[in-house]
Amino acid sequence: MVPRPYYSERGDHIDSKTPVTVSRYRGFTRINHWITAATLILLAISGLALFHPSLYFLTGLFGGGQITRWLHPIMGVVLFFSFLLMFVQLWRLNMPKPEDVTWTTRIGDVVKGNEDKLPELGKYNAGQKFVFWAMTGLILLLIVTGVMIWQQFFAHYVPVPMRRIAVLLHALAAVAILLVFILHVYAAVWTRGTLRAMTRGTVTGGWAWRHHRKWLREIASRDTKGPAE
């Protein structure tokens, strides 16, 4: 029986090309990622439109206030299920590892790009794992509070005091998830070569060796084509 990969997914592999590339995300994963991202952006815009009268003009992007109020919770359900698929696929690889503590204590070297002073990492570093678990908790909070204040179906089952608390928590969670999303986008753009993983599905061998060496070593150990160095 083939053991379960510890730092990688079974679909990750080294491609026999020159220059060497490493397959990091399959097509389904990338499509689902972009569905999640697009839905989150649309939810942010529609949520802002409904949050304050000065931003109500944004409802015009969705066809008006009534349609926006109808679409917003539906998009929330889409976000929940698209992220759920991502969670089921990736939660094991986002569990904390001993090297994550070392990476976090050396955040100065991370910012400066001193990779030689950082520990070897699996498929995800501690920053990426923080984003994953923060998104998990915040989306769960948003869906629970969102259902509680969903006027069309569920709000009348929830006492008014509970609804008020739900509205407050929903707003706070929305602000928090936007901050996490901005952090995620910034880190992806800042670390050159990262965006390629979610557009093409591959990274260069050099990128994999520099940023996620344990991940690359595990792939190479089960790949007959040899390591990407």
Catalytic residues: 184
CB atoms within 10 A of CB 4: 8
**Mind listing the pLDDT tens digit of every residue in the chain (229 residues)?**
445 667 888 789 898 777 889 999 999 999 999 999 999 999 999 999 999 899 999 999 999 999 999 999 999 999 999 999 999 999 999 999 999 999 999 999 998 888 889 999 999 999 999 999 999 999 999 999 999 998 778 878 888 899 999 999 999 999 999 999 999 999 999 988 999 999 999 999 999 999 999 999 999 987 654 433 3
State whether the Cα torsion 103-132-228-186 is positive or negative. negative
Q: For residues 193, 210, 129 and 218, what is the CA-based torsion angle, rounded to 10 degrees?
A: 110
CB neighbours of 23 closer than 8 A, spacing ≥ 6?
11, 12, 13, 14, 15, 201, 202
Domains and CATH numbers, the chain: 18-222 (1.20.950.20)
The stretches of the chain forming alpha helices (DSSP H) are: 27-51, 65-90, 98-105, 107-112, 126-148, 160-190, 195-199, 205-211, 213-222
